[in-house]
Amino acid sequence: MENASTSGESLLRLPQVEAKTGLKKSAIYAGMKAGTFPECIKLGPRAAAWPLSAVEAWIAERIRTAKPRQR
C-alpha cells in the first residue's frame, strides 16, 4: 500500500485549500455537496484534508474553462 511519502501525494488542510483556491470554507463545502469541488478525506473525527493533486486539477479545470475577458 502506498502512502503519501512514497507516492509523492500531499494532503492540504482547509486553510491551505482556502489560500490555494481563494475560496472560503462555506464555498468549498457547498462545492463538495454540489459535486463541483473535490471531496475531502476524513483523517479523524474532527480532521479533514484534500489531496493536492485533486485541488490542483480543480484549479486547472477552472482556468481551462474560463471565458476570456472582453476588452
Tell me the per-residue pLDDT of 54-63, one tens digit each, with 9 for 90 and over: 999 999 999 9
DSSP letter (8 states) at residue 23: -
Quickly name the fold that domain 10-65 has. Recoverin; domain 1 (1.10.238)
Q: Helix H segments across the chain?
A: 4-7, 14-21, 25-34, 52-65
Secondary structure of residue 37 in the 3-state scheme:
coil
Domain range annotation of the chain:
10-65
- Does residue 5 carry a pLDDT above 90? no
pTM (2 d.p.) = 0.82
Supply 49's cell numbers.
484534508
Q: Is 42 helix (H, G, I), strand (E, B) or coil?
A: strand
The pLDDT tens digits for 11-45 are 999 999 999 999 999 999 999 999 999 999 999 99
User: Is residue 2 scored above 50 in pLDDT?
Assistant: no
What residue type is assigned to position 1 of the chain? M
Give the per-residue pLDDT at 8: 80
- Grid cell listed for 19: 489560500
Amino acid in position 47: A
